[in-house]
Structure 1
């Protein structure tokens, strides 16, 4: 089983916890803190300015609790994810939650778990690897050091976890260009399941019928209510054994997690869960058992910042990859352009580090002078499902920030790049990438954005399709699903998912917004 059944832990556990505290009071807060696992792994590194807060959420694929103990068999059965022998200590879910101090829209950055990066300190002798592996490598290295020391098993477990946390935090911070990590939260697979048990049923929405025996997913098109076990399958699915044409990949799972957070937060606020003492206590008990946070995180203070997240005041962004590749051992990895990734991060949430030197990543990532200068919004003016997603992802692979995607029911024949004040140069560069299409001024286009309206005559240029990991036909290609151990899990491909409102049926990895129940792949 191994990584084929690797867990997916939703980052919303932290937001949900602090939201619960806003209505639960000081006494309950003290009771929670007394039983919550805390960590000193962050150290005294640089903090965010202007009252901003960056929180790294790490979801472990371990099938154990926070003390390293096995779970009850009925939970393993419900999880459909193996038992204590499966999983490991990889950080299979990595999200950086940026909450601005001025109360403006928060941003959740999803970091694809198979991104091939440098690992600071070379834990266990490995200096490069998938970004998710930093935790497990440092955990294993510490375990080897402690093997002959004896003592309490749970104390050794916590020392090993501390080493893993520090390594993962350092790796993420370096990869993102020195962005401050003010706080962190670590949650396990069972934490997500138990949260879902407390608040079930949860309403989700799918664009297609889909079925997968590996994760246990079996969903129909449209909105539906799911229980806790189905929720685990919803956020873990990365293949479809009945509908292979859907081309599921790891990044589709990233978007599923984002969609679940959005749906859950929306429902909790609408349904009054935050005023239900029984449900609140259940959520807080889960936090005590299967969650760890840094010792400096004042949950009551942060709750004031996080309280508006359930109102949809959050955007979800999946950081770009260049292509799928292999490492020196032949394992599937995501090839990334570090300069491109760090540029996207600086644009979205700022940072402390200067712009990095030119990347050694493949030139297909695209880092010319025009890259990163505009946010590109894409409108699908055709009947081709998912075309806006495909174009958006391809342009993101060329260095542009992906904006919104939508579908115009009034089909148009021409493809046009519209620009507002000062956007002529960026529009011309985008138009060139799209095959030399027309540009036009439109005063309604926001500064720093261009709007691409795709017409029925559009054909994706082969060079642009290759940069986006897809084909000139407009549909991204995906590698075959593959199993493997801790470092050999399947590669990722661009997800296609919808967003709330009037979405394209297949929105780009960077385009999901909170505020409702989005329909996704």
Structure 2
């Protein structure tokens, strides 16, 4: 178990550890926790809660902000990926899909129940070890989502956020319009302004008045842009007095892994090599699925892995790959796919169609078909679209069909199909499949809810400027 500051702790068994990591980057997970406790888990007194603009009957261990910072081994730049708190994940705990923000709580509750069942009654030990388990589950979950080995961990609660923003003398932000929200305490004018302490908390925590959770994520990206600019560009790291105040606030209120905690000065010195304009904040490439205002926030794992890997590329090469990715996404959206089930597995076609929808293809419909091997058919002249669809389904064979019109494709699923959408199904006997036995001219399966891409690649903020946001 790794110890942090002031008796705080986090499990180190899942941390990569060390600088100059083999994957080409040092990766730090930054967590903003909505808990009403200090770094040691002690409840904050009423007078402190009042100072923070928070009450003691809300919050808990919900992670409001999750940011993965990638620092290449050359130490000359950094990229930070923010993950929306409402992103749906499966924690493999028999809960089905749940929101990412609930991960820490889920791991903590499971560990506490396990310890209590084994007879543990020491409340301090229960709290410490269950909190560790929650952090461990969160780290493991984000590693699976990103494909990145996390080397360091830093958790900031409400008090820590308050202390750090005061230590740096506030952060400059900019709003397009004035905003007010009694729930978070937000009360800001339009334009550029400096926020710290309680106001800084209100700026990043406001939810009411914003279109959706993604806009809140943009707020957090913008704030972190300003914070990094303040620390890196204004000489904080090179000024002994300012650096001492910053480290003091961190020691009092931020939970770090043992390695980072023991080498924070060394790490600060290394970060001086990161110029203010070379810190880039981006949103994870999530997708919104469903009706406006009630969307689910989803993430395509292979896409996310590639996104995180590409952040280590030189800027020109990365820009070229992003352009290629945008073109591929547009091509998928312009391809309407119909799926035919010849597998003998009930519901498989509809499930595969849902899977393709989450990958950006436009859903046509689903129904049954006569026995056949799995294959993808594409329209004449659209071989690239057909190959992309075949790859998305695990590498199916693809053939051109003169019967299809431009922008359409068909997928036939045989007994041999083992690709995406098939893993949770097993053949059953004597059940109705995806539709009545009909020819391919009258698809009847319902189309899944529309999907929106957030175009996370376009939401890039660098520390050399403060963009105005909602």
TM-score by length of 2: 0.64
Q: Which residue of 2 aligns with 1:257?
A: 220
Q: For the Cα contact (< 8 Å) 1:41–1:165, is it kept in 2?
A: no
CA contact (8 A) 1:36 1:289 kept: no
Indicate the residue corresponding to 2:168 in structure 1: 199
- Distance in 2 (alpha carbons) for counterparts of 1:145 and 1:199: 42
Equivalent residue, structure 1, for 2:229:
266
Name the residue aligned to 1:239. Answer: 208
SS of the residue 1:107 aligns to: strand
Q: Secondary structure at the match of 2:60?
A: coil
SS in 2 for 1:76: helix
Distance 1:228 1:63 in 2: 15
Alpha-carbon distance change, 81 to 309 in structure 1, aligned in 2, over 3 angstroms: farther
Query: Offset of 1:275 from its aligned partner?
Result: 5.7
How far apart in 1 are the matches of 2:253 and 2:298? 33
Any conservation in 1 of the 2:289–2:451 contact (CA below 8 Å)?
A: no
Q: 1:221 and 1:287, CA in 2 relative to 1: closer, same or farther beyond 3 A? A: same
- CA 1:218–1:362: 2 relative to 1, 3 Å: farther
Instruction: State how far apart, in whole Å, the 2-side matches of 1:511 and 1:158 are.
Output: 37
Q: Indicate which of 23, 27, 35 corresponds to 1:62.
A: 35
Task: Call closer, same or farther: CA 1:310–1:90 in 2, change over 3 Å.
Answer: farther
Paired with 1:349 and 1:51, the residues of 2 have a C-alpha distance of: 8
Aligned to 2:307: 344
Contact 2:63–2:101 (8 Å) recurs in 1: yes
| Alignment check: 8 A CA contact 2:61 2:105 kept | yes
Structure 2 CA distance, aligned partners of 1:253 and 1:194?
22
> Deviation at 1:515?
2.0
Aligned pairs, number: 342
Residue 100 in structure 1 maps to residue 72 in structure 2: yes
- In 1: Cα distance, 2:72 partner to 2:216 partner: 26
Which of 18, 40, 43 lines up with 2:11 in the alignment? 40
Preserved CA contact (<8 Å) 1:336 1:361: no
Deviations, residues 385-426 of structure 1 (Å, cap 9, x unaligned): xxxxxxxxxxxxx99xxxxxxxxxxxxxxxxxxxxxxxxxxx
Structure 2 gaps, min length 5: 314-351, 363-387, 390-405, 408-449
Alignment match of 1:209 (pick from 178, 187, 190): 178
1:28-70 Cα offsets, whole Å, 9 max, x none, are xxxx977463433334769842652111112222111122211
| Post-superposition offset of 1:94 | 1.1
Alignment-derived partner of residue 460 in structure 2: 511
2:192 pairs with 1:229: no
TM-score, structure 1 as length reference: 0.58
C-alpha distance in 2 between matches for 1:280 and 1:303: 9
Matched, 1:520 2:469: yes
2:452 aligned residue: 468
Q: Give 1:167 deviation, angstroms.
A: 0.6
| Aligned-partner Cα distance in 2 for 1:209–1:349 | 37
SS in 1 for 2:192: strand
340 and 43 in structure 1: CA distance in 2 versus 1, 3 angstrom threshold: closer
Shift in Å, 1:213: 1.6
CA gap 1:144/1:33 in 2 versus in 1, 3 angstroms: closer
Deviations 1:267-325 (A, max 9, x none): 34554444665544443233223222222334344334422446121111111222245
Q: Secondary structure at the match of 1:512?
A: strand
Do 1:319 and 1:510's aligned partners in 2 also have CA atoms closer than 8 Å?
no
Write the distance in 1 (CA, Å) between the matches of 2:301 and 2:225: 28
Cα RMSD (Å): 3.6
Does the C-alpha gap of structure 1 residues 162 and 337 become closer, same or farther in structure 2, counting only changes over 3 Å? same
Structure 1 residue 363 and structure 2 residue 357: aligned?
yes
Residues 75 and 200 (structure 1), Cα distance of their counterparts in 2 relative to 1, 3 Å cut: farther
Secondary structure at the aligned position of 1:322 is classed as: strand
Deviation at 1:364, TM superposition (A): 5.4
Instruction: Please tell me whether the aligned partners of residues 76 and 273 of structure 2 are also in contact (alpha carbons under 8 angstroms).
Output: no
Name the residue aligned to 1:410.
none
Aligned equivalent of 1:302, options 252, 267, 272: 267
Deviation string 1:479-521 (CA, Å, 9 cap, x unpaired) is xxxxxxxxxxxxxxx59xxxxxxxxxxx976322222333222
CA shift for structure 1 position 238:
2.2
Instruction: Tell whether the 8 Å contact from 1:135 to 1:168 is kept in structure 2 after alignment.
Output: yes
Aligned to 1:185, the other structure's residue is in SS state strand
Query: Aligned with 2:143: secondary structure?
Result: helix
Q: Which residue of 107, 116, 127 corresponds with 1:157?
A: 127
How far the C-alpha of 1:225 sits from its partner, in A, is 2.5
In the other structure, the counterpart of 1:175 is 145
Asked if the contact 1:203–1:263 (Cα under 8 Å) also holds between the matched residues in 2, the reply is: yes
Q: Contact between 1:67 and 1:154, CA under 8 Å: does it hold in 2?
A: no
Select 1:314's aligned residue among 279, 299, 312.
Answer: 279
- Give the secondary structure class of the aligned counterpart of 1:147: helix
Which of 101, 119, 132 is the equivalent residue of 1:132? 101
Question: Tell me, what secondary structure is at the counterpart of 1:239?
Answer: coil
Mapped contact 2:171–2:226 kept (Cα < 8 A):
yes
Describe the superposition over 1:434-464 as per-residue Cα deviations: whole angstroms up to 9, x where unpaired.
xxxxxxxxxxxxxxxxxxxxxxxxxxxxxxx
Between the aligned partners of 1:62 and 1:214, the Cα distance in structure 2 is: 16
**Counterpart of 2:410?**
none
